[in-house]
Structure 1
Amino acid sequence: MKAYVWKETGRIEKEIHWSTPEYGSHEVLIAIKSEGICTTDIHMVSGKLDFAKPPWVLGHEMSGVIVKIGDDVKGWKIGDRVVIDPVVSCGSCKYCLTGKKYLCPDGGELGTNYGSGGYGEFVVAKPSNLYRLPAEMSFAEGAMMEPLNCTLGAIDRVRNMVGSHVAVFGAGPAGLLFIQLARAYGAIKVTLLDIKDEPLALGLRLGADEVVNITKVSLQDYFAEQEIEVVVEASGSEAAIGHCFEFVASSGTVVLYGLNGLHTPTITSDMIVGKDLSIVTCTSAPLLWYKGIRLVQAGKVNVKDIITQQVPFDEAEALLEEIMDGKSSATKTVLSY
């Protein structure tokens, strides 16, 4: 198969004859139709996150079509359009049996640390990792179901969302999902903060009540006039992490979502205890995939407009280099096969 292969730190190369993954009797082979480029992929290639070693086929935000079916697979057929949950697990340990398969000690994530991902033409998956992609949703929207699932999992854990003023740091794909989910979960006001005007403008179109360019205002002055019960860190910025704990109201909730690859402490435990704060995180939400799909179907979450760049697979090599070098201005890029 064709694949974009992470060869060494900072370098991805296109391979024409990369090995197609083999599927077993309880698995299916999926032809990838759309694959999202995630910041986690960029951090892995740059060496900031040590989840796997090259050579490696990245990509965990995937949708596609079933093209081969193992003999023991039931309920699926060739041609079915699917969204792929990339989290692989044993299915029988205490984490799997309590809805937390992402913590399975024998598992992992396709494209991240366990098996070939969506930067290749084909992926192998178990039926338990598949969700039907509705006919009215595009494959590109299907690829966005993985980041939606993760952000939805975080918001679903926030106990004081209803009636709260929510502030979201970071107007990237995750932040743009968070502002919509906060609204869907009952927030009465949502503020989006970033350092760039263009993604902030997109945030307004997607439902933020207010946007703040933090290079143009004093955060101390802004937050002094607000009562922010929930603060979401979706940028991976070390400074933003500190701002979350500093500016959230006492007895509020901080959602930590962005990864940055830093190995130094970024939070002050005394502040957490002194302000009686709750902390929420999420890397996967296995029980919420259908809820995410329904939110998109119902028009409560718009993932389509977050995708600002779609690129045919065969034309993506130069673009991937640009993204890895931090030179792309796209909010979200999706490869199309």
Structure 2
Amino acid sequence: MSMLPEKMKAAIMKEPLRIEIEEVDVPEPRGNEVLVKVMAVGVCGSDIHYYEHGRIGNYIVEKPMILGHECAGIVAQIGPDVRNLQVGDRVAIEPGVTCGKCENCKAGRYNLCPDVEFLATPPYDGAFVQYLRHREDFLFKIPHELSFEEAALNEPFSVGIHAAKRLQIEPGSTVAIMGMGPVGLMAVVAAKAFGASKIIVTDLEDNRLEAAKALGAHHAINVRTQDANQVIKELTDGKGADAALETAGNPKALQTALGALKRGGKLAVIGLPAQNEVGLHIPFISEYEVEIYGIFRYANTYPQGIQFLSSGISDLSLLITDRYELDQTQEAMERARTNKAGSLKVVVYPNGFVENEN
């Protein structure tokens, strides 16, 4: 680590559907910043959306940009004010650096900070680079038994942890999760970690449903061939689920999630649909006194997520279906974009694949 290069490779999205590899300067950490040698980056649905469309809602890519925000690596250099990390530490990278001063940050809800600098969210570059500069307080040590890929998965896992906390999932809870993409699959692990006794999942693809069962789901429903709400009623003796999470951003799935609830049930809206407005059954919401929670990223979840994942609660290796070098970032994005039925999690290795490097 003492011989850091002056230049590094970066995968830069020049325009939608076009990524080029360029040499750029290795950044120098200042103050309480840390330079991390990036070892694994998971391709997220938001990365694909920016890659394909150049925007997500009001976040518009207006100049060449580096994608990737699910990441982990090794501390390569520290700034002069860094106190809790040293060169060689293995770390998970929480991608959103917040101001720490606004009322939301001070209240512990820093995911709502209006001045957050979030990796791979315009105008901020992301982690498809060999070295990343990041603030110390958003880096978390990981044990040697946790792989870099698993540590990177702590990012989508944190969404599930945040939702589980808001929904007050606890031992004995019945939980329905709609959509078994990576966020939905990690939400299964979160529900399991918080003690849910019955986890019911839905999706269109059998391979994703099988992965969910391997991670801890008790019942899997393919909505191509089954009526999810009818099956959930049967599985809950007519009551419905205590909590439901919609992770796919699909209007029909959101309506199904609402209909899956028992009286007094709780709904977490995680996925973002293409349209801003979705019709929901208002008399049902009122009569059942449904509590609806918007889920935006997460806050104060990374240490707990690392503890859960380090415990071996689920075998996450089955999620890693595709591996690419940094030079192949374009191919990795295309794989994730076009092979939704076959790929679960695509991972890019900016410094080559090295298992559990020190």
Instruction: Select which of 133, 138, 142 maps to 1:129.
Output: 138
In structure 2, the partner of 1:258 is 271
Do the aligned partners of residues 269 and 18 (structure 1) sit closer, same or farther apart at CA in structure 2, a change above 3 Å counting?
farther
- Do 2:216 and 2:314's aligned partners in 1 also have CA atoms closer than 8 Å? no
Three-state SS of the structure 1 residue aligned to 2:65 is: coil
Instruction: Select which of 104, 110, 122 maps to 2:119.
Output: 110
Residues 1:39 and 2:45 are matched in the alignment: yes
Residues 1:214 and 2:223 are matched in the alignment: yes
Deviation at 1:263, TM superposition (A): 2.4
Per-residue deviation, residues 25-58 of structure 1 (Å, max 9, x unmatched): 2211111100010001112223351424131111
CA distance in 1, matches of 2:307, 2:344: 24
Do the aligned partners of residues 223 and 133 (structure 1) sit closer, same or farther apart at CA in structure 2, a change above 3 Å counting?
closer
CA distance in 2, matches of 1:123, 1:266: 42
Do the aligned partners of residues 200 and 109 (structure 1) sit closer, same or farther apart at CA in structure 2, a change above 3 Å counting?
same
CA distance in 2, matches of 1:210, 1:76: 43
In structure 1, the partner of 2:4 is none
In structure 1, the partner of 2:11 is 4
In structure 1, the partner of 2:348 is 335
CA distance in 2, matches of 1:246, 1:130: 39
Residues 1:28 and 2:37 are matched in the alignment: no
Three-state SS of the structure 2 residue aligned to 1:33 is: strand
Which of 26-35 and 16-25 deviates more?
Answer: 16-25
Q: Name the count of aligned residue pairs.
A: 336
CA RMSD across the alignment: 2.1
CA distance in 2, matches of 1:84, 1:224: 40
Three-state SS of the structure 2 residue aligned to 1:34 is: strand
- Do 1:59 and 1:112's aligned partners in 2 also have CA atoms closer than 8 Å? no
Deviation at 1:239, TM superposition (A): 1.0
For 2:331, the aligned partner's letter is A
Residues 1:195 and 2:204 are matched in the alignment: yes
In structure 1, the partner of 2:95 is 86
Q: Kindly, what percent of the aligned residue pairs are identical? A: 28
Deviation at 1:183, TM superposition (A): 2.3
Deviation at 1:132, TM superposition (A): 0.2
Q: Please, which runs of 5 or more residues in structure 2 have no aligned partner? A: 1-7, 352-358
Which of 287-296 and 276-285 deviates more?
Answer: 276-285
**TM superposition score normalised by structure 1:** 0.92
For 1:306, the aligned partner's letter is L
In structure 1, the partner of 2:317 is 304
CA distance in 1, matches of 2:216, 2:191: 10
Three-state SS of the structure 2 residue aligned to 1:24 is: coil
Three-state SS of the structure 2 residue aligned to 1:7 is: strand
Which of 203-212 and 156-165 deviates more?
Answer: 156-165
CA distance in 2, matches of 1:220, 1:74: 52
Between structures 1 and 2, the one with greater strand share: 2
CA distance in 1, matches of 2:142, 2:152: 10
In structure 2, the partner of 1:286 is 299
Do the aligned partners of residues 252 and 74 (structure 1) sit closer, same or farther apart at CA in structure 2, a change above 3 Å counting?
same
CA distance in 2, matches of 1:300, 1:229: 22
CA distance in 2, matches of 1:108, 1:276: 37
Which of 169-178 and 17-26 deviates more?
Answer: 17-26
Per-residue deviation, residues 222-257 of structure 1 (Å, max 9, x unmatched): 244232221111222121011111232221111211
CA distance in 1, matches of 2:92, 2:242: 34
Deviation at 1:219, TM superposition (A): 3.1
Three-state SS of the structure 2 residue aligned to 1:316 is: helix
Per-residue deviation, residues 165-224 of structure 1 (Å, max 9, x unmatched): 211111221222222222222222111111111111121211111111111123353244
In structure 2, the partner of 1:175 is 184
Do the aligned partners of residues 114 and 22 (structure 1) sit closer, same or farther apart at CA in structure 2, a change above 3 Å counting?
farther
4+ residue runs over 4 A deviation:
325-328
Deviation at 1:116, TM superposition (A): 2.2
Per-residue deviation, residues 124-146 of structure 1 (Å, max 9, x unmatched): 11110110021111111111111
For 1:2, the aligned partner's letter is K
Deviation at 1:299, TM superposition (A): 2.0
In structure 1, the partner of 2:22 is 16
Per-residue deviation, residues 285-328 of structure 1 (Å, max 9, x unmatched): 33221111111111224433222222222233223223334567
Q: Please, which runs of 5 or more residues in structure 1 have no aligned partner? A: none
